[in-house]
Amino acid sequence: MTTALLLLLLAVGAYLVAVIEDWTTSGRFRLAAPAFAALALLGRESIVPRKSDRVFFETAPVLLLISALLAATVIPLTANLIITDLATGALFINAALVYVLVALLMAGWGPNGAYAMIGGWRFLGQLIAYAMLIVMPITAVVMRAESLLTTQIVVSQAGLWNIVYQPLGFILFFVASMALAFLPPFDLTTAKGELAGGVEAEYSGARLAVFRLGRLVLIITLAAAIVVFYLGGWQGPWLPPWAWSAIKILAVTTMMLLAGRYMPRIRETDLLGWCWMLGIPLALLNILLVGLLVLVLP
């Protein structure tokens, strides 16, 4: 029952992400646009490129969707509203989201097209840049919560949200999440206008619809993860818990989608350089600071 409700909420969330993304790119707020776009995609031809690796080509969109969906299962909207409260929740999010890389590499290799291939290899470089900035801030969050349970992580922020307790971790995790969801300015793997869509270039029709759906679910999942890890999850005064979750998740989604609109696309070399020369030292500093705070504060 909870599972069905949460899957429905996830679908509504993904739809709202599409509406918000449309608003941030075109400036118009059209509630029905994603539905029409999806119908149009389903009605179009879905072409398989010649001499393609059929297994990789077919698996990639499905795997992207599955990976984002599995990560969403361990994210609580209220204390009880969660699909599986896994004992290894915070680690499971990482484990599930690594398959985003696998899916995008498959989408790059599968169609046997040059642009897609470059997009796929680029994302591998992007993973090497952002991956540490996903796992290290989560470690610091776990140190405070003393548990990998995501519900426990939210409860641990009752007095003070993690965004105040470890602001450095929040910034790093936020940027790394944008890179993981290949949102601009980190959209190296799709790179509209430069790679003709990159890994998306050879997909059309229903397969493209599934690919885009996977991406939308990925964005809403990451926004929800940021809320759970740093913004106190369902906690807040006056309103009921589920309302707080919804408000925070939508606010974070809007921030993620808006933030990149005013920046040029970053080069892969620069991304790697920034992440390893600045990001990882800062993430280690964050672990040290949180370690000291956990010991000093009662």
Q: Which of 24, 46, 78, 235 binds another protein (CB under 8 A)?
A: 46
User: What is the smallest separation between the CB atom of 183 and another protein, expressed in angstroms?
Assistant: 21
User: What is the smallest separation between the CB atom of 173 and another protein, expressed in angstroms?
Assistant: 14
Q: Which of 1, 32, 158, 295 binds another protein (CB under 8 A)?
A: 295
37 near another protein, judged by CB under 8 A: no
| Token pair 């949200």: residue | 161
294 near another protein, judged by CB under 8 A: yes
| Secondary structure (DSSP) of the chain | -HHHHHHHHHHHHHHHHHHHHHHHHHS---SSHHHHHHHHHHHS--PPPTT--HHHHHHHHHHHHHHHHHHHTT--SSSS--S---TTHHHHHHHHHHHHHHHHHHHHHTT--HHHHHHHHHHHHHHHHHHHHHHHHHHHHHHHHTSS-HHHHHHTTSSS-HHHH-HHHHHHHHHHHHHHTT-TTS-TTT-TTTSTTGGGTT--HHHHHHHHHHHHHHHHHHHHHHHHHHS-TT--SSS-HHHHHHHHHHHHHHHHHHHGGGSPPPPHHHHHHHIIIIIHHHHHHHHHHHHHHHHH--
Site map 49..78 versus another protein, x via CB under 8 A:
xx----------xx--xx--xx--x-----
Residues 258-277 contacting another protein, CB under 8 A: 268-269, 272-273, 276-277
Nearer to another protein, 35 or 251 (CB): 35
284 near another protein, judged by CB under 8 A: yes
Among the listed ranges 106-114, 160-168, 180-188, 218-226, the one in contact with another protein (CB under 8 A) is 106-114
Residue closest to 23 by CA, chosen among 10, 11, 12, 32: 32
Nearer to another protein, 240 or 291 (CB): 291
81 near another protein, judged by CB under 8 A: no
Inter-CA distances, 224 with 4, 103, 142, 237, Å = 18, 21, 17, 19
148 near another protein, judged by CB under 8 A: yes
Q: What torsion, rounded to 10 degrees, do the Cα atoms 131, 132, 138, 143 define?
A: 160
Q: Which of 146, 159, 239, 258 binds another protein (CB under 8 A)?
A: 146
Nearer to another protein, 23 or 276 (CB): 276
Nearer to another protein, 95 or 239 (CB): 95
155 near another protein, judged by CB under 8 A: no
Residues 115-144 contacting another protein, CB under 8 A: 115-117, 121, 124-125, 128-129, 131-132, 135-136, 139-140, 142-143
194 near another protein, judged by CB under 8 A: no
Among the listed ranges 48-56, 166-174, 180-188, 250-258, the one in contact with another protein (CB under 8 A) is 48-56
197 near another protein, judged by CB under 8 A: yes
